Amino acid sequence: MAQAAQNKTRGRKLLGASALLSVLAGLYFGLIEAPPDAYQGNAQRIMYLHIPSILTAYLSFFIVFIGSCLFLWKREKRDDILASSAAEIGVLFTALTILEGSIWGKPTWGVWWTWDARLTLTAILLLIFIGYLMLRSLIEDETRAAVCSAVLGIIGFLDIPLIHMSVYWWRTLHQPPSILRPDKMPWENIHPSMLIALAVNFVAFILLYFYLLSLRFHVGEMEEEAKTRKLYRGSL
Amino acid sequence: MELLRQTVWLLRKDLLLELRRRESVVAMFFFGTLLLFVFHFAFEIPPDRAAAMAPGLLWLAFIFTGTLGLTQLFQAERENHCLEALLLGPMDRAALYLAKVSFNLFLMLLVEVIIFPLFWILFNLAFWELLPSLFLVALLGTMGFCVLGTLFSAVTLKARARELLLPLILFPLMIPVILATVRGMEILLRTGQFEEAVPWLRLLVGFDVIFLTAGFLIFEWVIEA
Amino acid sequence: MSGWGFVFLAYGIVWLALLLYLFFLKRRARRVEKELAPLRSSAVKKN
């Protein structure tokens, strides 16, 4: 039993170390190695944060969805802890994505905020995440909180494609075309060292995300164990 | 079918209660009308922009009114442990869901039918011949609102700050419905062409079907928690 | 170059936020571990 826990800790430490290394590599490739953009200059380097962040945010919601489904099916506390951990970290990454998008927007579009599809969608995702966390904190009975937030996790995830569709239709029918489109994914005509920087930063974010998630999950499990032990202390 | 019979029985109970006391429908109607009045003071609407802004304002009024109805939706069951009594029997939980969705839909449509023409008159709009297609859009949108709203009304039933939490959770999820109904109505008012609004209507139908099914399957876990 | 200013602002906020979160998470972990240790050992003793 103790050996398994030790292995998990060691695995986490390894994950954390590799996350740190790839983050540093990402910083090097993004800030030093990659060239400045032809149109946007150096401000474009924020993309190396923004695109990995947004993908990590969506990954997080997917994990909330999986955890919620598993919990409603099997009713094992670990799945609920997984869902709530992913939600907590998801809020963080989503909020950061919005901040990055806003800061990127100022030098490229001239404004701190615009209702373009991507920023709007990220803001909606943040609202759903926040709703999830608030629901959990405002329901007193723990089992009920777990069940109810699982329902929100599932419905929210099912809604995301519909939200995407409606927001994209809304924006493309009304927004006049603009020359600078930093919200376009520049897969074609991209400088190879930019692609490398993007890839390295993407790996860095994923590793960092899973490190934080595993740590948060571990804390959640320990808190649950502490609660259970205190509950049964009288009867032992 | 047994499910249908139970749904109708529960719906009849709610309708009878509402008929006798008329709490929800009167409050919703007055609240909706009040909102329209306040909008008139809050928004300076030039007559040439009225048709473009009308759907949005109308839907805002419906959504806030509908939320009022949602917070009241399970009120009868909360008093005197009626919910526990209902659940003690072998009744299909999904029947309760369908009955509540239908009941809220009925209330909202009733309010909309009265407010719609009132809104048209108050804001001097003249598109009477478009009313049927506009009402189709409104029906699909209201359906979407009731389907998700009922589910989350049950989800927040035993939460603190319920009246604040329900809109907080529901509104972001409702964005496809809000966009589709408002854009759909706006297209109809602007062009009079039904075909252009069809993509939005398809989205609404998809939304309604997906979440009616999801709610139908998930509701029993919510209500038993 | 005004571009770099925004870059450092974005990178600064992001990494600061992530580091802060990691810091608070580790502090929470330490607190729970401290709480859990006596509970675990007392259970072992009683058995």
Contacting residues of C for A223, CB less than 8 Å apart = 32
Which residues 8-47 in chain C show a CB within 8 A of chain A? 9-11, 13-14, 17-18, 21-22, 25-26, 28-29, 32-33, 35-36, 39-40, 42-43, 46
State the smallest CA–CA distance between residue B93 and chain A in angstroms.
16
DSSP C1-47: -HHHHHHHHHHHHHHHHHHHHHHHHHHHHHHHHHHHHHHHHHHHHH-
CB contact under 8 A, A127 and B172: yes
ipTM for this model? 0.90
Instruction: Measure CB to CB from residue B225 to each of A127, A148, A167 and give the nearest one.
Output: A148
CA dist., res. A202 & res. A233, Å (int): 46
- pLDDT (tens digit per residue) in B129-178: 777 888 899 999 999 999 999 999 999 998 989 999 999 999 999 999 99
Give the nearest chain B residue to A150 (CA atoms): B222
Which stretches of chain B sit within 8 Å of chain A by CB? Answer: 148, 151-152, 155-156, 158-161, 165, 168-169, 171-173, 175-176, 179-180, 183, 199-200, 203, 206-207, 210-211, 214, 218, 221-222, 225
Alpha carbons A194 and A37: distance in angstroms, whole number: 9
CA dist A14 → A122, A217, A227 (Å): 31, 16, 29
Interface test mutation site (partner C, options A96, A212, A217, max chain C beta carbons within 10 A)? A96
Interface mutation vs chain A, best among C9, C14, C45, most A CBs within 10 Å: C14
Helices A47-74 + C2-46 axis angle, to 10: 30
Please indicate if any CB of chain B lies within 8 Å of the CB of A167.
Answer: yes
Q: How many angstroms separate the CA of residue A213 from the nearest CA in chain C?
A: 10
Mean pLDDT of B72-80: 84
Residue in B163, B173, B205, B207 to test binding to A, most A beta-carbons within 10 Å: B173
Query: For the residues B84-97, what does the mean pLDDT come to?
Result: 86
Residue C2: its chain A contacts at CB < 8 A? 43, 107
Asked if the Cβ–Cβ distance from A163 to B222 is below 8 Å, we say: no
Chain center to CA of B72: 13
CB contact under 8 A, A169 and B156: no
In a mutagenesis test of the A interface, which of B157, B175, B185, B190 is the best target, namely the one with the most A β-carbons within 10 Å? B175
Q: Which residue of A has its CA nearest to B211?
A: A155
A 106-145 residues inside an 8 A Cβ radius of B = 124, 127-128, 130-131, 134-135, 138-141, 143-144
> Which pLDDT does position A148 carry in this prediction?
95
A3: distance to nearest CA of chain C, Å? 15
**pLDDT score of A28:** 86
Contact partners, residue C2, CB within 8 Å, separation at least 6 = A43, A107
Count structural domains, chain B. 1
**A66-69 contacts at long range (C-beta below 8 A, 24 or more positions apart):** A67/A150, A67/A153, A68/A149, A68/A150, A68/A151, A68/A152, A68/A153, A68/A154, A68/A157, A69/A150, A69/A154
Distance between C47 CA and the closest CA of chain A, angstroms: 9
How many whole angstroms separate alpha carbon A227 and alpha carbon A208? 29
pLDDT number for residue C20: 96
Nearest chain A Cα to C25, which residue? Answer: A216
Q: Which CA distances in Å does A80 have to A77, A153, A160, B127, C24? A: 5, 11, 21, 52, 21
Whole domain around residue B207: which residue ranges? Answer: 2-224
Please, what is the end-to-end C-alpha distance for chain B in angstroms?
A: 27
pLDDT in the model for residue A175: 46
Note the pLDDT of residue B52: 81
- Residue B44 buriedness (CB in 10 A; 0-12 / 13-18 / 19+): exposed
For A165-216, write each residue's pLDDT tens digit: 999 888 876 544 443 344 555 445 677 888 888 999 999 999 999 999 999 9
Report the mean per-residue pLDDT for chain B.
88
CA distance A157 to A145: 18
A-to-B residue pairs, Cβ atoms closer than 8 angstroms: 91
How far, in Å, are A236, B59, B110, B142, C22 from residue B125 at the CA level?
75, 16, 21, 22, 57
Residues A128, A157 contacting (CB under 8 angstroms): no
* pLDDT the model gives residue A177: 41
**What pLDDT, on the 0 to 100 scale, is given for residue A173?**
67
- C-alpha A188/C-alpha A234 separation (Å) is 66
**Considering only CA atoms, which of A224, A205, A12 is closest in space to residue A92?**
A205
Query: Does residue B60 register a pLDDT over 50?
Result: yes
Look up residue B221 and give its two tokens. Answer: 């876990």
Q: How confident is the model at residue C46 (pLDDT cuts 50, 70, 90)?
A: low
Name all contacts of B78-83 with Cβ < 8 Å and 24+ positions apart.
Answer: B78/B157, B83/B223
- Letter for the amino acid at A12? R
> Under an 8 A CB cutoff, do A165 and B159 touch?
no
Q: For residue A163, which amino acid is it?
A: I
Which positions of chain A have pLDDT values less than 70? 1, 173-189, 234-236
Residue type, A90: G
Q: What is the pLDDT of residue A235?
A: 60
C-alpha dist (Å) from residue B79 to A23, A163, B27: 56, 36, 19
Contact A46 C42 (CB under 8 A): no
In this structure, what DSSP letter does residue B81 have? G
pLDDT of B224 above 70 = yes
**A134 near B165, Cβ under 8 Å?**
yes
